[in-house]
Amino acid sequence: PRDGDEMVHHKLPPYVQNMDRLGDTELQPSTSEPAGSQQPTNQSANQNPRHKRIQDHEKERKELFSKPPLQTQEKKVESMEAEPPAEPPSDLPDPSAAEGGGLSTEQPFIKLSQEEYGEHHSSIMHCRVDCSGRRVASLDVDGVIKVWSFNPIMQTKATIMSKSPLLSLEWATKPDRLLLLGSGVGTVRLYDTDAKKNLYEMNIDETHPILSLACSPSGSSFVCSAAALSRSGTVSGQLLLWDTKTVKQQLQFSLEPEPVAINCTAFNHNGNLLVTGAADGMIRLFDMQRYESAMSWRAHDGEVYSVEFSYDENTVFSIGEDGKFIQWNIHRCGVKQSEQMLPQDATGPFVLSGYSGYKQVQVPRGRLFAFDSEGQHVLTCSSSGGLIYRLTNGDPALDRVLSLGGHKAPVVTVDWCSAVDCGTCLTASMDGKIKLSTLLAQKS
Residue type, 140: D
Residues found in the chain: 444
pLDDT value, residue 15:
53
Q: Out of 96-105, 366-375, 376-385, pick the least confident.
A: 96-105
Give the Cβ contact number of residue 227 at 10 Å. 24
Contact, 281 vs 299, CB < 8 A? yes
How many alpha carbons lie under 13 Å from residue 289 in its C-beta half-sphere?
A: 9
Mean model confidence pLDDT for the chain: 81
Q: Which 3-state string (H, E, C) describes 202-266?
A: EECCCCCCEEEEEECCCCCEEEEEEEEECCCCCEEEEEEEEECCCCEEEEECCCCCCCCCEEEEE
Indicate if the pLDDT at residue 331 is higher than 50: yes
pLDDT value, residue 106:
73
Q: Rounded mean pLDDT of 98-111?
A: 59
Q: Which fold has domain 109-441?
A: Methylamine Dehydrogenase; Chain H (2.130.10)
Q: Out of 63-72, 137-146, 296-305, pick the least confident.
A: 63-72
Question: Which sequence spans correspond to the domains of the chain?
Answer: 109-441
The model's confidence at residue 95, banded by pLDDT at 50, 70 and 90, is: very low
Q: What are phi and psi of 59, to 5 degrees?
A: -65, -45
Percent share of the chain, pLDDT over 90: 61
Percent share of the chain, pLDDT over 70: 74
